[in-house]
Amino acid sequence: MAVHKKEAFTQKEQDLAEFAKALAHPARIAILKVLAQRNECICGEIVEILPLAQSTVSQHLKELKNAGLIDGNVDGPRSCYCINWKAFEKFNREFSWLFNNLKIKNEKSCC
């Protein structure tokens, strides 16, 4: 994003944006869904389910992990990923904060 002026915004705004960014791709939404449907931490399964190359899936997993949405243990050949619930709850809270803040003050819009 070229000349990204992230620093010019509050930490809360940056955090929320970063979290949203991690969700901003259908493949990553799909990965989260897969991680949820199985009650265990798969990984190779994701590659079979998604129409993407292994390296691409690995890259998406890395982004989700960097953003803190998932945790992951790498045990040699077999990795293990799972949802980071605390992070999700924080996002939910932050998002609700923004959402409710808006809703209370401005129930009916002017346009």
| Residues near its own copies (CB under 8 A) | 5-6, 8-10, 13-14, 16-18, 20-21, 23-30, 32-33, 35-37, 39-41, 50-52, 71-73, 80-85, 88, 92, 95, 98-99, 101-103, 105-106, 109-111
Q: What does the alpha-carbon distance between residue 109 and residue 23 come to, in Å, rounded to a whole number?
A: 28
Q: What does the alpha-carbon distance between residue 43 and residue 34 come to, in Å, rounded to a whole number?
A: 9
Least Å distance, CB 62 to DNA, is: 5
State the binding partner of 87 from its own copies, DNA, none, CB within 5 to 8 A by kind: none
By CB under 7 A, name the one of 5, 85, 107, 110 that touches DNA: 5
Beta-carbon count within 10 A of 70 CB:
23
Burial of 46 (0-12, 13-18, 19+ CB in 10 A): buried
